[in-house]
Structures are given as structure tokens and as C-alpha cells.
């Protein structure tokens, strides 16, 4: 049985990282769900751990890995590089596992081209005001860079129509439950059906 690739994306402040942490509970991991850990050159934030949220590497190391073709996709965001390791995705597909990815919008589009069978889920904040509030609460940027990030996030919100599923992250637990329902329903999606079996039933 082929595995599943779940691409979860959102504008900055949409809450996709918090959602993914809740999503990959011990129960879901027992079901064969895994989390794709991206590689980045950005500095590690407080409470982040190397190999948990990201693999943190130097700029030269990132470029070396990209030249070797280790990334399924890579991009530059706010002066830093991000890349999705290719090998874990392929292992999940051939091993019948479910791989969950937390990527930005550009990364989601690139991955969908390479893995057209993937499901794309867009996480929206409940309002523009809440989005700005969440970004400000991070306290990781000065006013100039915060404004740039806010403008980019507001523009990305408008791209929700390009995704197959949309979840509004007003209450985190509810949003997690909705994403779980989407993932569990994927075997019933037409392009995932065993058409030979269906045709035998229908005649």
C-alpha cells in the first residue's frame, strides 16, 4: 500500500507548527504517522531543539546538501534557507506510512508538483487582526522586519483557493481534529481508490 504525504501550510502566524506538534501525538505515531523535519540556516529560537523542529545547519552546509540533490524542495525566506529532505518522503511512500510536512506556501506548491498524490491543507488564522497579534507575540524581529513578515503573511492568506483543504485555526484542538478527519478520509478520495476493486463491485 502506498503511503500518504500530507502538506500542511499557512502564512506566518497561521499556527501550522503548533497544529503539527499536536497532530503528531503518540497515538497518531502508532498509526504510522511521521513528521518531516526540514533543514534550515536560520538561528534556533528559544525552546527549539536541533532535530525536533528543524535541523539547523550553516549556510555552506545547506548549499552543499542542495547541490547533492538531498532536498525535495528548497527556498529562501527572510534571508534564510529552508529545505525538505527527499529521502524520508520516498521512504514513507514506499513503506505505506503517512508523512506530515510543515512548510511555507512556496514550499507547498513545489512539493505538490513533485508529489501530485499529496494532500494539501491550508491553515488560516481566524482574522487578520489575530494574525498580526500572533506574529507580534513571537518577539523574534524588530519592527521593520515584523512589518515585512506581516505583509507577506497577509498576501499568502489570499492563496487559500490553491489548496485542496482549508482549516480555520480559531481553537487549536478543533483545528487539529479537523485535520485528523481529513487525513483519515483520504483513502476515500477518488484518486486514492482501488479502481480495479471498485469496478468489480460496480460491474
pLDDT at residue 152, as a whole number = 87
Q: What is the mean pLDDT of residues 38-42?
A: 95
Residue 177 has pLDDT above 60, yes or no: yes
Residue 100 near residue 36 (C-beta atoms within 8 A): yes
Half-sphere exposure of 94 (CA within 13 A, CB side): 6
Q: What is the mean pLDDT of residues 173-201?
A: 79
Question: What is residue 145's predicted lDDT score, i.e. its pLDDT?
Answer: 76
Average pLDDT over residues 31-56: 89
Ranges of H-type helices in the chain: 16-23, 26-30, 59-67, 86-95, 105-114, 128-138, 143-157, 172-185, 195-202
**pLDDT one-digit tens code per residue, 59-107:** 999 999 999 999 999 988 778 999 999 999 999 999 989 999 999 898 9
> How does residue 202 score in pLDDT terms, banded at 50, 70 and 90?
confident
- Which domains, and CATH codes, for the chain? 4-202 (3.40.50.300)
Task: Indicate the average pLDDT of the chain.
Answer: 87
Dihedral sign from CA coordinates of 16, 182, 83, 110: negative
Task: Indicate the pTM of the whole model.
Answer: 0.85
Amino acid at each position: 500500500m502506498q503511503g500518504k504525504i500530507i502538506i500542511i501550510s499557512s502564512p506566518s502566524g497561521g499556527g501550522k507548527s503548533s497544529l503539527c506538534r499536536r497532530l503528531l501525538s503518540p497515538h497518531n505515531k502508532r498509526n504510522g504517522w511521521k513528521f518531516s523535519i526540514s533543514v534550515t540556516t536560520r538561528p534556533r529560537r528559544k525552546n527549539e531543539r536541533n532535530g525536533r523542529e528543524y535541523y539547523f545547519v550553516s549556510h555552506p552546509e545547506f548549499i552543499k546538501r542542495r547541490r547533492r540533490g538531498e532536498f525535495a524542495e528548497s527556498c529562501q525566506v527572510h534571508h534564510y534557507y529552508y529545505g525538505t529532505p527527499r529521502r524520508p518522503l520516498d521512504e514513507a511512500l514506499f513503506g505505506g506510512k503517512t508523512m506530515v510536512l510543515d512548510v511555507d506556501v512556496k514550499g507547498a506548491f513545489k512539493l505538490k508538483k513533485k508529489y501530485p498524490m499529496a494532500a494539501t491543507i491550508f491553515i488560516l488564522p481566524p482574522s487578520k487582526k489575530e494574525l498580526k497579534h500572533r506574529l507580534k507575540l513571537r518577539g523574534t524581529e524588530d519592527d521593520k522586519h515584523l512589518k515585512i513578515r506581516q505583509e507577506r503573511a497577509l498576501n499568502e492568506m489570499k492563496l487559500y483557493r490553491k489548496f485542496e483543504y482549508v482549516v480555520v485555526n480559531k481553537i487549536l484542538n478543533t483545528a487539529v481534529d479537523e485535520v485528523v478527519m481529513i487525513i483519515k478520509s483520504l483513502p476515500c478520495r477518488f484518486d486514492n481508490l482501488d479502481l480495479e476493486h471498485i469496478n468489480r463491485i460496480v460491474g
